[in-house]
Amino acid sequence: MWYVMQVKTSTEENIKLQCERVIPASVLERCFLPYYKERKHVQGEWKTFQKILFPGYVFVVTDELEKLYPCLRKVQGLTKMLGADKEIIPLSDREVTFLRRMGGEDLLVEMSEGIIEGGAVTVTSGPLMGMEGLIKRIDRHKRKAWLETDMFGRKQTVQVGLEIVEKR
C-alpha cells in the first residue's frame, strides 16, 4: 500500500534519506518523492530542472504498516502520516493510478507540449494528453500549468511543465 507523510517543506529529501537509512528493507518497500520537469531560461539558455511535485509530502510503500510506525519515530522532522482521525489511510487506487499515469515508474512528470486554439488548450504530447480538464491555469512564459486534482482526501493544486508551441 502507498502512504503519505507530511513533512516541513524543503525537508523532503532529508526525510526520504532518513527513512531509507533507518527503516529496514523488510518493512519499507520504497520511499520516494514524485518530481516534475520544468524548463527555465537561464543566462540565455533553456535548461531543464526537476522540482518536487507535492512539496511537503514524502511517499512510502509498505505492506507492514504496524512495523513501519515504530520505525518512523527515529525519523527527525516527520510531521505526521496522513489519515483520518487516528487511522492512517493509504492512497486510493485512483490516486496511485494518477501518480503512475503522470510520472510513470520513475514518478517523474515529463514536460508536455500543447496548442491553444480558440482559447482552448489541447495537449499534443506528454503526460498531460487527455487530461486537459484538470488544467486550471497556464503560464506560457514560465512554461507551466497548474492542475487541480483530488489527492490526500482533498483538492490539491500541482504545477507541471507545459510548453505551448502554438496559439491559433
Query: Residue 35: its pLDDT value, please?
Result: 98
Distance of alpha carbon 18 from alpha carbon 58, whole angstroms: 11
Radius of gyration for the chain, computed over Cα atoms and rounded to the nearest angstrom: 18
Mean pLDDT of the chain, nearest integer: 93
Phi-psi region of 91 (alpha: psi -120 to 50; beta: other; left: phi over 0): beta
Query: Residue 22: its pLDDT value, please?
Result: 93
For the ranges 52-61, 75-84, 116-125, the lowest mean pLDDT is seen at 75-84
Which of 149, 150, 116 is CA-nearest to residue 133?
Answer: 149
Q: Please, what are the domains in the chain? A: 2-167 (3.30.70.940)
Query: Residue 86: its pLDDT value, please?
Result: 66
Report the alpha-carbon angle 159-160-165, nearest 5.
130
- Does pLDDT of 104 surpass 70? yes
Distance of alpha carbon 81 from alpha carbon 35, whole angstroms: 20
For the ranges 5-14, 84-93, 109-118, 133-142, the lowest mean pLDDT is seen at 84-93
Burial classification of residue 83, based on how many CB atoms lie within 10 Å of its CB (0-12 exposed, 13-18 middle, 19 or more buried): middle
